[in-house]
Structure 1
């Protein structure tokens, strides 16, 4: 089962590197249903996996100049605050509620991926960020990340386009920086009360990082829209599966 778990972790990394988000939504189901990890520990491990993989995947985007540091750091700092609070609250909620909320997040992510990214009309480059709006959005998205352990890239990218005025390609790269920051803060919140099995967490994280590097190298070589839609249908099926499991429990 460990081989299957590590293979799935590599797939999570590939999708993060390829799409700038999406794959992290599978980390919790993989850990719960393949590795047999309790839900709270799975969410904490997921935050570790997502933080490290996103940070590594962001390196290639940074080298290509596809990260807007000022916008990303402002959004990421706000997201860290929300994620840390979410990480403190999450361990005290019923596991069934956490998994149901996670299933809802999976369904929302799947629908967003299937529909595809419809790029909003970007405003002209701004000298000043709408800081209050960016902070409010960052805190809200971060809280979701901290609670359920998903990066929320499908929420971050549109927010960066609309609020930060970023082109789509730059928003994808910047989202990885934001996701890494808030996932790390969410993990810090969880670690106050949830132990992590490092003997499992570290190999899973390493497999996801390798997958992330592979995904980054594939970007631009395949039809990203079709691949994103196909993966979205897979996430949709997994979300329905998780929801059914919670109804049966």
Structure 2
């Protein structure tokens, strides 16, 4: 086993750890690990990421469900349009992206570069979301009655579904604020509900890929198993470590990773 492959499997452990410690964010690492450490094509990496994120998040969702921290009605309202959007994106839209998307001054932006650059933009947005410390009364929402802005929740579900389909990330940093602000869920319940949405949405997206590719199941199952070990360990360690500090630190790490991807793809 080569050094980069070993680092890739260690990365799988980190993905699970981060998901377990801060309830999201770990999935943003999966695609860079699969592309730069393991050596997969970005199109394959986004598909594999959906499976890893889906299975790992389902473990976290189950743990939160047992604690009563999953709102099934809100999950359904958000998830149904997201499920449809992510499946259609992986089944039909992703294969329509041409080999060369466009050319700028003789520089060809291939589909691989396009996907990784889009992923870097998502990472930048995620990092700002994690780093920001400004308190928003709407995000506290612990005592507000649950209410539903149906059109906005559905629209957000579609947007997150398409983005998930394109870049293979769970989109927790988009889902959690939407659940808190649009459905008035308490933060802890929003995290648990988000994990359920991410899990099912990602796995449905992966199903859309199955007709389009041959899956390396031994690798994918081993990578996912290591990630599951990570999330179980992360949930245990979260009792002793400040999630706020971890989230901010991981935000800065994500920011650096985003700039690294931009540099690597363009220069």
Q: TM-score, normalization: structure 1? A: 0.94
Instruction: Report the equivalent of 2:266.
Output: 247
Instruction: Report the equivalent of 2:118.
Output: 101
Q: Which of 149, 152, 155 in structure 2 is aligned with 1:130?
A: 149
Q: Please, which runs of 5 or more residues in structure 2 have no aligned partner?
A: 98-110
Q: Which of 34, 44, 47 in structure 2 is aligned with 1:41?
A: 44
Taking the TM superposition and a 5 Å limit, the aligned residue runs for 1:186-205 are: 186-205=205-224
Are 2:218 and 1:214 aligned?
no
* Partner-residue secondary structure (3-state), 2:212: coil
Taking the TM superposition and a 5 Å limit, the aligned residue runs for 1:178-193 are: 178-193=197-212
CA distance in 2, matches of 1:38, 1:28: 10
Instruction: Report the equivalent of 2:107.
Output: none
Q: Give the C-alpha shift of residue 197 in structure 1.
A: 1.5
Q: Give the C-alpha shift of residue 190 in structure 1.
A: 2.3
CA distance in 1, matches of 2:51, 2:229: 15
Instruction: Please say if residues 53 and 209 of structure 1, whose CA atoms lie closer than 8 Å, have aligned partners that are also in contact.
Output: yes
Answer with 84-93 or 237-246: which moved more.
84-93
Instruction: Report the equivalent of 2:66.
Output: 63
What is the RMSD computed on CA atoms of the aligned residues? 1.6
Q: Give the C-alpha shift of residue 188 in structure 1.
A: 1.8
* Partner-residue secondary structure (3-state), 1:192: helix
* Cα distance per residue 1:147-172 (max 9 Å; x no partner): 10000110000000011110001101
Instruction: Please say if residues 44 and 196 of structure 1, whose CA atoms lie closer than 8 Å, have aligned partners that are also in contact.
Output: no
Taking the TM superposition and a 5 Å limit, the aligned residue runs for 1:144-155 are: 144-155=163-174
* Partner-residue secondary structure (3-state), 1:54: helix
Instruction: Please say if residues 120 and 162 of structure 1, whose CA atoms lie closer than 8 Å, have aligned partners that are also in contact.
Output: no
CA distance in 1, matches of 2:76, 2:233: 26
Instruction: Report the equivalent of 2:158.
Output: 139
Q: Give the C-alpha shift of residue 2 in structure 1.
A: 2.7
CA distance in 2, matches of 1:216, 1:62: 14
Taking the TM superposition and a 5 Å limit, the aligned residue runs for 1:70-89 are: 70-88=73-91, 89=93
CA distance in 2, matches of 1:115, 1:60: 27
Q: Give the C-alpha shift of residue 133 in structure 1.
A: 2.1
Instruction: Report the equivalent of 2:244.
Output: 225
